[in-house]
Amino acid sequence: MEIKPLSALWSDAVIAPGNTYGRHDIYAGIHKALRMFMFDTLTRVGSADSADAEGLKDTLAQLRSLLAFCAGHLQHENEFVHAAMEARRAGSTTEIAGDHVHHLLELAQLRSLSDAVEHAAPAESARALARLYRELTLFVAHNLTHMDMEETRHNAVLWATHSDQELAGIEQAIVASLPAEESALSMRWMIPAMNHAERVATLSGAQAQAPAEVFKGLLGIARANLSAREWSALAAALSVPERLAA
């Protein structure tokens, strides 16, 4: 019996062969960032020591940052991407919109569970942490299938109803709406989650168009979050010094 990947189960006709690449993919970068942020946080929660107060405090802080980031991401998709899809193909976001409502409930539950861990008595802390880990695992699993559906079904609609220039415009509108702190957090996870070619394309665009201080800030994020080998390759591609001035 042939076992198809999840992405193929939606329908063999969802995306025509060859269309997965070569079109502007509004989900690609941010979804890579979300996956890395989720996996890193899930790993930290799973390995957290309930008896290490400082370590646990740092882990819960990252978890809460992830939860806020996910809530913001849902809002941006609803306001910008879903609105654009519904304007040209009514009803095309109905199923995913239902997922978004469910995800908001999950986010609220995870915030409550993180509070329970923080305030648990020593005898109950390990048990509360174990429950948080299980629920976070399920949340990540739900998001993986959710993002795949967006990258297949939603991209099929977006590519059929919008030009690449229009899709880039939607993406730029989202970026322009972000507060500075959220924008920096997004790039903190997006840059290391990208492959080399994607990093070069993103940062060379910023190098050509963004203010010098913005580009310098992005280089700082890259330097702090890439391996030495990744940073060296990126610096060479951008013709910037490997040793950045403070």
The ranges assigned to domains in the chain are 25-179, 194-246
Q: Is there a contact between 139 and 113 (Cβ–Cβ < 8 Å)?
A: no
- pTM of the predicted model as reported, rounded to 2 decimal places: 0.89
In tens, the pLDDT along 48-106 reads 999 999 999 999 999 999 999 999 999 999 999 999 999 999 999 998 888 999 999 99
Place of tokens 């509070």: 115
Q: Is there a contact between 86 and 196 (Cβ–Cβ < 8 Å)?
A: no
What is the model's pLDDT at position 19?
46
Of 56, 58, 39, 66, give the one whose Cα is nearest residue 130. Answer: 56
Domain 25-179 top-level CATH class: mainly alpha
Place of tokens 């030495």: 228
Q: Residue 206's pLDDT band (boundaries 50, 70, 90)? A: very high
Among 9-13, 203-207, 209-213, the range scoring the smallest mean pLDDT is: 9-13
Q: Is there a contact between 125 and 41 (Cβ–Cβ < 8 Å)?
A: no
State how far the Cα of 8 lies from the Cα of 20, in Å rounded to an integer.
Answer: 13
State how far the Cα of 64 lies from the Cα of 129, in Å rounded to an integer.
Answer: 14
